[in-house]
Amino acid sequence: MNYKERNSNFELLRIIAMLLIVFHHSIFHGVLAYSVTMWQGTPVSDQVWVTTFVGELIAMFGKVAVAVFVMISGYFLVNSSSNWKKSLRKIFSLVIQVYFYSMVIYLVGAHFGWINPKDLNTIRQAFLPFFYNTYWFATEYLLLYLVYPYLNALIHSISREQHRNLILIVSVFSTVVPTIFIHFTNYNSYGNLVMFVLYYIIGGYIRLYTIEDEKKKGLLLTIGSILLMAGVIFWHDYMGRITHNQQYYGNSFAYAEQNSLFVLLVALGTMMFFKHISLGHNKIINTIAATTFGVYLIHDNPIMEQVIWLKWLKMPALLTPNIGHLLIAVGIICPSIFIICSLIDFIRIKLFNLIAFIFNKAKKTM
């Protein structure tokens, strides 16, 4: 099912999720880029501990948005037929889009002197983006796309109760245990794929089955989980403040990471809620939603994240006791970046469609 055929409720959710990811990156790669809260070396001083906490509140929805993106894929793909031609076309489209932005940004960066074009690691990231962690989400999503037909076969071969139990079992080991024991293990790339599989089967469950009072329960679950996650982060930051133990700050944001139970619950509740929002077909929403992956590829490219957050905007300078300054700056900057990147990808889509049209026309005349 493509963007034009979909009800706009989940397309609106895509837009919100990507905007939250931009906000997340403004803090993670910007304001707190050098802070111990993001596992860097600079300790949190008493003067900015509240600003640090506010920054973490802004950033804590980033991984929720990632979970939502994958759950939406599970929601729409779970009933799709296993058509390898169609799958290969989608995989090819994903790969082309990633390579396009990776290489174009490399060439632009080299032209304007943002990078050393001869640096081996920079070249690897630009020309082999799926192998050198240029875009971790794109790599994990590609792997998920390769296995989703088999996940569908599993999902449709088991009962509702078995499907629910499978979600619970994977959730316990992938989110509950790491949330209780935050240094339990380092899941790395394979752990991300496990999380993506979990999100996918949850999205499939939401599509296949309806829960009583689902919209209301989803809203309560979302709000409750957000409050719990914010409360745990605040407790760690406050303990860091009164004990002057930087370890508390270092552990605080772990509860908003990919393996956090809070992240999973917020994403689950959000999906349950948006499932029952009826917007019909909105062309503007669907058009913007089609650019969200491009927004990610542009602003979170390793070159661009350095240029945008550190070189141009100097976001770490916002880490001051002036919380209002931080909120105003981030509130203006992040939507602006989203809009600019969305417009760029809109042009890219039109260009690619024109090239495809010319190619198909030439193919027919041969």
- Whether residue 43 is predicted with pLDDT greater than 80 in this model: the reply is yes
The full set of domain ranges for the chain reads: 3-365
Cβ atoms 141, 200 nearer than 8 A: no
Q: What is the pLDDT of residue 189?
A: 55
> 30-44, 108-122, 235-249, 290-304: which range is least confident on average?
30-44
Question: The pTM is what?
Answer: 0.95
8 A C-beta contact, residue 292 and residue 68: no
| Res 4 pLDDT > 50 | no
Mean pLDDT on 16-42? 94
Query: Does 68 score more than 70 pLDDT?
Result: yes
Three-state SS sequence of 18-61: HHHHHHHHHHHHHHCCCEHHHCCCECCCHHHHHHHHHHHHHHCC
Residue 211 three-state SS: coil
pLDDT > 90 fraction of the chain, expressed in percent and rounded: 87
Q: State pLDDT tens for residues 279-313.
A: 999 999 999 999 999 999 999 999 999 999 999 99
Which whole-number Å values give the CA distances from 71 to 116, 165, 195, in the listed order?
A: 38, 17, 11
Mean pLDDT to the nearest integer, 98-103: 98
pLDDT at 134: 96
What length is written for the chain?
366
Mean predicted lDDT score pLDDT of the chain = 94
CA dist list (Å): 143 to 104, 117, 138:
24, 29, 9
Q: At what angle do helices 188-208 and 160-171 cross, to 10 degrees?
A: 150
Provide, rounded to the nearest whole percent, the portion of the chain with pLDDT above 70. 96
C-alpha–C-alpha distance, residues 175 and 260, integer Å: 5
The confidence score (pLDDT) of residue 174 equals 93
Quote the CA–CA distance of 62 and 256 in Å, as a whole number: 8
Candidates 22, 8, 2; CA nearest to 305 is 22
Among the listed ranges 31-40, 145-154, 183-192, which one has the minimum average pLDDT value? 183-192
Residue 16: name the closest of 256, 283, 334 by CA: 334
Report the chain's C-alpha Rg in angstroms: 21
Q: What is the pLDDT of residues 154-191, one digit of tens each?
A: 999 999 999 999 999 999 999 999 999 887 655 555 67
Give the three-state DSSP class for 117.
coil
Is the pLDDT score of 360 beyond 90?
no
Residue 6 has pLDDT above 80, yes or no: no
Residue 72, helix vs strand vs coil: helix
Q: What is the pLDDT of residue 3?
A: 40
Q: How far apart are CA 157 and CA 202, in angstroms?
A: 16
Contact yes or no for 344/62 (Cβ under 8 A) = no
